[in-house]
Structure formats: C-alpha cells, structure tokens
Amino acid sequence: MRALRKIEWLLLIVGCVLIAVYATGRIYRTVMSRASLRRFEDLRAERTSAEPTSNDGGNSLDASALKVDFSLWSEKRVAAYERSLAQYTDPPLAILRIPKVHLEVPVLEGTDDMILDRGVGHIIGTDGPDGNGNIGIAGHRDGFFRVLKDVGPGDEIELVTRRGTDIFKVDQVTLVLPNDVSVLQRRETRSLTLVTCYPFYFIGSAPQRYIVQASIQRSNDSRAEGNKPSGLHLTHD
C-alpha cells in the first residue's frame, strides 16, 4: 500500500508538472506574439517618420491591417501562417494587390520558409520593389499565391511602396522547370515576375514553376536603375 501511494503521488506530481509546462508554453507564445506585433509597428513608425512623405495618396505598408482569406489554403499552410505570427519579421518592402482575386499581401525580404508562411517574398538577386527592372516575388502554391491560378493576361496587379502605387498589367502566364531562371533575368523596363510551384494541388514536391509576368502601366514615381541580379533561383514548396 505504501508503495502504491508513492506511485500515486509521483504520478500526481508529474501530471502537475506537465500541466504547468503546457500552460507556460501557451502564455509564452501569446506574449511573444504580441511583443512581435508591437516591435513590428514601432519599427514601421520609425522608418515611416525617417523617410520622405509618401505621394501615394495615403497608401500604407501596415501589414497588420491586411485581412487574410484562407478559403483556398491548405490546412498545413494555415497552421504554418499562424505559427509565423509568433516570430519577428522586418516591416514589409511593399504590399502586393491583385484586385481580381482579392489578394492583398505583404512583400517581405527573402524566400525562406518563415517569410513565405507570413507573406510573399522578394527574390534576392532581382530588382527590389523600388527598382527599375524585373522585380521577382515568390509565394507558396497552397497559401497566398494559390489565387494565381485565376490570374491571366490583361489582369492588373498593384504594387504599393512607401513612394506610391504602381499598376502592372499581366503579359503572360507560363510554366518552367525549377532550374529555369531566365524568367528572373533583368529587363530594361519596370516589371513584375510572380513565381509559385505547380500544379497547385500536387501532393509532394511540385515539378514545375508557375510564372506570372507583368509590365508597368502607370507609375507615380521616377525609378533609379537597379543592380544586375545574380545568384538567382526559383523557390519551391
């Protein structure tokens, strides 16, 4: 009997410890998420006040105000997005909008997993959102960029930077192999190249890349020449 009581007390203590660990983890995640959002807003406010006043008629790069439509997303990607909210990211470089498919998403720097879980990513080596050449942007096929399946030639794409809003029109939609980076090469005119994996509902590592290419139609800002891209690669799921 004495041995059984000891076992009962031991199990009770272990149970209490596990509950405490679980509760501490939940509290930590909530606190870190809120702290991350506060840092995001503080940095955005500091950068905005330090830069010239925008001439975009009040456009904002406040990613926290954007609403995310999960209707086409996979459950895996929804869970990854929610986890990403507890991690810190730099303020967005721009906001990408495609009115036809109701997409509004922050453009962050880089294409690692956390970046593409939180938003879409500027492909390093291509012109930046304020550049004057080919701007490469990647996104997950089962997340933000699944709506690209409904985008075609003639559709408009908006790119909002701190200097203004530029309107692009889709020229073509093509499929390429993952190692074909020719779509990311520099162009003489300001343009967009959106990249995601294909097929959109493929299980496993997708064998192709879905490319949406668009050219500038209207701009309210003069652009300086960007640097020639190097070390290009197409992102993958």
How many CA atoms, within 13 angstroms, populate the side-chain half-sphere of residue 75?
A: 0
* pLDDT tens-digit readout, 151-192: 999 999 999 988 899 999 999 999 999 999 999 999 889 999
Strands 134-138 and 191-198: parallel
| 153 phi and psi angles, rounded to 5 deg | -55, 135
Whether the predicted pLDDT of 20 surpasses 50: yes
DSSP state, residue 211: E
Domain ranges of the chain: 51-218
Q: Given this model, what pLDDT does residue 22 score? A: 73
pLDDT per residue over 189-228, tens digit each? 999 999 999 999 999 999 999 999 999 998 776 444 444 4
Q: Look at domain 51-218 and name its CATH class.
A: mainly beta
Q: How far apart are CA 209 and CA 234, in angstroms?
A: 8
Q: Using one digit for the tens of pLDDT, what is the confidence trace for 131-140?
A: 889 999 999 9
Amino acid 31: pLDDT: 55
Residue 26 has pLDDT above 90, yes or no: no
Q: pLDDT tens, 37-80? A: 455 455 545 544 444 444 444 456 666 667 889 999 999 999 99
pLDDT at 143: 96
Task: Specify the range with the lowest mean pLDDT, choosing from 17-31, 42-56, 98-112.
Answer: 42-56
Residue 127 in this model has a pLDDT that exceeds 70: yes
Higher pLDDT, 152 or 35: 152
Q: How far apart are CA 5 and CA 13, in angstroms?
A: 12
